[in-house]
Amino acid sequence: MVARKALITGLLLAAAAVPALAQAESDGITSGVYAGIRGSYAFSGNHVTTWAPTTPMTQLRGSLAAGGGGSVVVGTHLPLNLRGEIEGTYRYQSLSKVSLDGVQVAASGRSQSAGAMLNILWDIPMPLETPVLPFVGMGVGVQHTDLNFAGGGNTYMHQSRWDPAYSFMAGFALPLDEASRLTAMYRWMRTINSPHSCAVSGTVQSNCLNNPVDSASVDLGYEMEL
């Protein structure tokens, strides 16, 4: 329910930004379009958890090592210190360990994802002039996850499909001049309704329970007004 509300809220904000952008351009409020690139460091605490349909059910969890990725973004300035962005993302992480009901088993594998996000950011007004400009935001979109974990004793987890996703962001920009800036931000993302194929010792490959997949990263970027 919380995931659904957050996704609906993001879609409504994105829809509201379209007429606002058109009005801003006609009134001459917006300062234009910008483009940027971001490098991403994905934390090692990210993990994927599902439950195999055994009796009783078996928890299957894959923990991911630190990884990386990047994104390309095109955005525009909106009224009220808002910005709208379209972002293409990619991330890769290798498997660090797999556990069955909390007991670690030998395994190997990796997870990689790519997708498109529509972001709404708010540049926070500061009472005094500062060298950094803080911002917060959220995004909605879709992510394609390609995941393969394999271990001894018929332990297996696989996913390759598109699913809806949403994210929350907070960070700051450091202007270099009037037309360019460096950015740093923390991003938390959830991919929802993520089904997996899996197997554990004594079972055959089957559909495991659907579950959200959460991840966190720090993104460093460069943006330039066009």
Cβ within 8 Å of residue 181, ≥6 positions away: 133, 173, 174, 175, 222, 223
Q: Using CA atoms, how far apart are residues 68 and 107, in angstroms rounded to an integer? A: 21
Q: Which two tokens stand for residue 105?
A: 């088993």
Bridge-partner residues for 223, per DSSP? 36, 181
Tell me the fold of 2-225.
Porin (2.40.160)
Q: Which two tokens stand for residue 67?
A: 């990884």
Q: Which residue has the higher pLDDT, 139 or 21?
A: 139
Q: Which residue has the higher pLDDT, 159 or 88?
A: 88
Q: Please write the tens of the pLDDT for every residue from 48-75.
A: 877 777 777 777 788 889 999 999 999 9
pTM of the model: 0.79
Asked if 33 contacts 86 with a C-beta cutoff of 8 angstroms, the reply is no
Q: Please write the tens of the pLDDT for every residue from 69-78.
A: 999 999 999 9
Q: Using CA atoms, how far apart are residues 207 and 24, in angstroms rounded to an integer? A: 49
Q: Using CA atoms, how far apart are residues 75 and 21, in angstroms rounded to an integer? A: 11
Bridge-partner residues for 99, per DSSP? 61, 104
Give the up-direction half-sphere exposure of residue 34: CA atoms within 13 A in the CB hemisphere. 21
pLDDT of residue 49: 79
Q: Using CA atoms, how far apart are residues 168 and 150, in angstroms rounded to an integer? A: 31
On the question of pLDDT at 10 being above 50, the answer is no
- The secondary structure of residue 201, as a DSSP letter, is T
Percent of the chain with pLDDT over 90: 47
The mean pLDDT value for 76-96 works out to: 95
